Structure 1
């Protein structure tokens, strides 16, 4: 592991040596220029002139070399000292980012680097790191909230089953037909909730091997599946499906379509309940629209409909078709995994309009 390896030079020392080395190389190049363009043209023999003593090349070297060595040594010291200070100043933002990383690793996700005064690469790195921490903190909070809600939802059917079993054990002679029916219904609800949780976790992943799918065919299949439920709820179900191709997982997209139509049916409180399902291509997008009649829903409440375990109110919430509050949460995850968008808006006259836009795909040639 990295912790057991011998630690090398720090980045500050590397930058310091780089600065000092650059100064030494620059000094050496300057001496080379002096030699090439000046000293090599001075003869190394005695120069006789009537004007007095004229130094030759050896005399100049004897006079030039000692101060040059001293100057190079001074450059080395200056390079090391100045490089150490400059490197420390340049790398100081990394210390703040490292500290924030350690705090995040220890579980403190609320800490931020905040380098708003910097407009360089370190400032961009700090901003990106803060944005990542914000996203991670939000995701962790969402997962904790989801786990708490899931535990609560699963505890309810399990508690009901335990109560029914305890009652039956205390009275062995009683007729258990109703108890068995209640156990089966409660167990079915727990199974459905568990399956929904599994779908929700899978829907958060990207699609590894997408297939080109006609959404109108999925809409037909979902409508056929839910037609009996619509008849039980006295809901008139209408479909207007135009060919609209997208690429993705057929299983997840069918789950998305089924959840949308199921929600529209069971949360429909109108006397003349209607549900409209439409698929169509438009501007490079494959669009699914599901509308249902019902009471007026404020826009601020619609914004929370994709939260896990948020259930509707009214008669649908009281029967066994009410669901587990994960329908639109699953839809949102599936849409995000397919690179699409989900929008919920109040419908004129009451009810909700759900619009899903997915990237359009080219249909395979037959």
Structure 2
């Protein structure tokens, strides 16, 4: 924003230092002058003692000295204030340089203010933390944009190839072509819808309502029961009423993504998925764990990044669009919750979503809930 030029902070501080020093000197000289005016002065000559009047003494003896002292204090205050203000404001110069560098596009620059902690160094540390978060966020957005472009380009390129083949050979079997185009188009639509859902969750543009995570988890497991049967996976649900607040649609999507991910990335046969809800003093918890291949903590840490499906996970027939856990993470953060992923000792994955507990009464009718585990 355009602003008219003004005095620099250093000059303002210099004038302030000099002004206070000059004022202190003036008060001191006034005090001395008043003292001399009251006391007077006896001066001796050849004729004897002569009393000099206080006004004459002040004008002839003390006033010139006072003026010289005031001039000295003014010059000393200006020079000393300028030096001291420069030393005090030096950290601000480094912070200003760092912010201008960041504004020019270089987010990797850090202030790294040396010395002991004070107000300037706390400010510099806060800027360094902000720069680090911005750099990580921008890098993540760039990776996301690149991956999204790649993922969207793939079905479009396949569709173009199929159409070119059909145009080159008009007598080719159109039934097979239509089926393949339908599959590719469905994947592109799923990816687009996932991207829109991710954007909506990021913007937090939803109305909060009372939600019971246990009912949401049951609905998700019931919906995905046919998929579990197809993969030979047993679904187990258990737990207590877990009231929270948020978007019912987004939380259902969160639970569905978790259960779907647990079913698809499981053992080839006789796999198990356990869905459990619990209530803690200040939070409602949803835990989904599944059997599966042995995973490392380093690999698990990448699963919430967009389009990351882990080793060999992308080649499965139900790999999805690679946004399932990324959407779970975004929905969790939009609801002020925490998401924790951890490999199970015997293989597979345990995912825990912890959301703030809802205040007030529980959601739903407790008589409709079953306390023991349910098998699907």
Distance in 2 between the 1:268 and 1:343 partners? 19
Give the match for residue 374 of structure 2.
none
Task: Pick the aligned partner of 2:230 from 232, 240, 256.
Answer: 232
Deviation at 1:6, TM superposition (A): 2.4
Partner of 2:86: 88
Change (3 A) 1:248 1:315: closer
Moved more, 186-195 or 294-303: 294-303
Aligned partners of 1:215, 1:72: CA distance in 2, in Å? 77
User: How many Å apart are 1:39 and its aligned residue?
Assistant: 4.5
Q: Do residues 279 (structure 1) and 277 (structure 2) align?
A: yes
Give 1:330's aligned residue: 327
Partner Cα separation in structure 2 for residue 198 and residue 229 of structure 1:
25
Q: Distance in 2 between matches of 1:108 and 1:316?
A: 35
Shift of 1:316: 8.0
- Residue 34 of structure 1 deviates from its aligned partner by 3.4
Conserved 8 A contact 1:236-1:275: yes
**Contact 2:241-2:362 at 8 Å conserved across structures:** no
- What's the CA shift for 1:313? 5.4
Q: 1:313 to 1:123 in 2, by over 3 A?
A: closer
Contact 2:33 2:62 in 1 (8 A): no
Q: 8 Å contact 1:245–1:363 — kept in the other structure?
A: no
Matching residue within 76, 79, 94 for 2:77: 79
Gaps of 5+ in 1: none
How far apart in 2 are the matches of 1:316 and 1:103? 40
Q: Give the alignment of 1:1-366 within 5 angstroms.
A: 1-2=1-2, 5-34=3-32, 38-39=35-36, 41-42=38-39, 52-62=49-59, 63-206=61-204, 209-312=207-310, 317-319=315-317, 321-364=318-361
Q: Which moved more, 1:52-61 or 1:91-100?
A: 52-61
In structure 1, distance between residues paired with 2:314 and 2:360: 39
**Which aligned segments of 4 or more residues in structure 1 are displaced greater than 4 angstroms?**
206-209, 312-316
Number of matched residues?
Answer: 361
Which SS does the other structure have where 2:105 is aligned?
coil
How far apart are 1:228 and its partner, in Å?
A: 2.2
Counterparts of 1:30 and 1:51 in 2: how far apart (Å)?
34
SS at match of 2:309: coil
- SS of the residue corresponding to residue 12 of structure 1 reads helix
In 2: Cα distance, 1:284 partner to 1:120 partner: 35
Is this contact kept in 2: 1:16–1:80, CA < 8 A?
yes
Q: Which moved more, 1:158-167 or 1:23-32?
A: 23-32
Alpha-carbon contact 1:287-1:355 (below 8 Å) kept:
yes
- Once the 2 structures are TM-superposed, how far is the Cα of residue 18 of structure 1 from its aligned partner? 0.6
- TM-score, structure 2 length as denominator? 0.88
CA shift for structure 1 position 315 = 8.1
**Distance in 1 (alpha carbons) for counterparts of 2:208 and 2:28:** 64
Contact 1:235 1:265 in 2 (8 A): yes
Q: Secondary structure at the match of 1:279?
A: strand
Unaligned runs of 5+ in 2: 364-376
SS in structure 2 of the partner of residue 53 of structure 1: strand
Using a 3 Å threshold, how does the CA distance of structure 1 residues 42 and 314 change in structure 2: closer, same or farther?
closer
Q: Render the CA deviation track for 1:302-326: whole Å, top value 9, x for unaligned.
A: 122112111255688432x321111
Instruction: Output the TM-score relative to the length of structure 1.
Output: 0.90
Q: Quickly say closer, same or farther: Cα 1:315–1:209, change in 2 above 3 A.
A: closer
Give 1:209 shift. 4.4
RMSD of equivalent CA atoms: 2.6
